[in-house]
Chains A and B, each alone.
Chain A
Amino acid sequence: SAVISQKPSRDICQRGTSLTIQCQVDSQVTMMFWYRQQPGQSLTLIATANQGSEATYESGFVIDKFPISRPNLTFSTLTVSNMSPEDSSIYLCSVERGQETQYFGPGTRLLVL
């Protein structure tokens, strides 16, 4: 099984600022995924991050708002830029555990004031 850690675990931010979330995996993985889960809602995929290439963004999410880095096979960052209260969510990274199933990190709980 993969062990995934995320930093920070939670944060309270002012609108207009940016926050970078880190995701570290204890083994090398090809694909890492970033999800958003708004309060009481389901999981929505933001983007897929592959090492050595640009992230692939889902409809409704753009690189300027959610820039992603994937410098190696065990690490990725997601930045939430120019935040507004609507960005208050849980942000989760995940990795494939095999056969298209996923392990999720513990999440970053973000509150934007």
Chain B
Amino acid sequence: GQQVMQIPQYQHVQEGEDFTTYCNSSTTLSNIQWYKQRPGGHPVFLIQLVKSGEVKKQKRLTFQFGEAKKNSSLHITATQTTDVGTYFCAGPEKGNTPLVFGKGTRLSVIA
């Protein structure tokens, strides 16, 4: 079945440093989604990418969808303590649901 892998599993950064997490699917995705889960919280939808090669920005966050629609990345510029949490990518196999989630990247930001 479809597998979604994320690296790194953990990342500790100094406040102000950049951060990137990578997501790779074993199959082509119809779309890729990113969610953020704060410690003790629940996953919250951040963004969805649909088109091959698509790039979207949300303030300091930049999301990319690969040309083959099998990989994606999330880059945070100049991290802040409010960025702390676990970032999950998720995607449905092409034409199918449900979502398959990656294992997530847990980001710690040291002030």
| Chain B interfacial positions (CB closer than 8 Å to A) | 1, 30-31, 33, 35, 41-45, 48, 50, 88, 90, 92, 97-99, 101-104
* Contact pick for A33, options B30, B88, B98, CB 8 Å: B98
Determine if B31 and A97 form an interchain contact, defined as CB atoms under 8 angstroms apart: no
Q: Of A16-24, A68-76, A79-87, A98-106, which stretch is located at the interface?
A: A98-106
Please, could you name 9 A-B residue pairs with CB atoms under 8 Å apart, sorted by A? A33-B98, A48-B98, A92-B43, A99-B31, A99-B50, A101-B48, A104-B42, A105-B42, A106-B41
| Chain A interfacial positions (CB closer than 8 Å to B) | 33, 41-45, 48, 58-59, 92, 97, 99-107
Interface of B is mostly: loop
Determine if B31 and A43 form an interchain contact, defined as CB atoms under 8 angstroms apart: no
Q: How many inter-chain contacts with C-beta < 8 Å in the A-B complex? A: 45
CB-nearest residue of chain A relative to B48?
A101
Query: In the assembled complex, how far is the CB of residue A2 from the closest CB belonging to chain B, in whole angstroms?
Result: 11
* Contact pick for A100, options B43, B97, B102, CB 8 Å: B97
CB-nearest residue of chain B relative to A109?
B40
Q: A42-B88, A43-B88, A100-B92 are in contact. Are A106 and B99 (CB under 8 A)?
A: no
The interface residues of chain A lying within 8 Å CB-to-CB of B88 are: 42-43
The interface residues of chain A lying within 8 Å CB-to-CB of B43 are: 43, 92, 104
The interface residues of chain B lying within 8 Å CB-to-CB of A33 are: 98
Query: In the assembled complex, how far is the CB of residue B37 from the closest CB belonging to chain A, in whole angstroms?
Result: 9
Docked pose: A58 CA to B99 CA in angstroms: 12
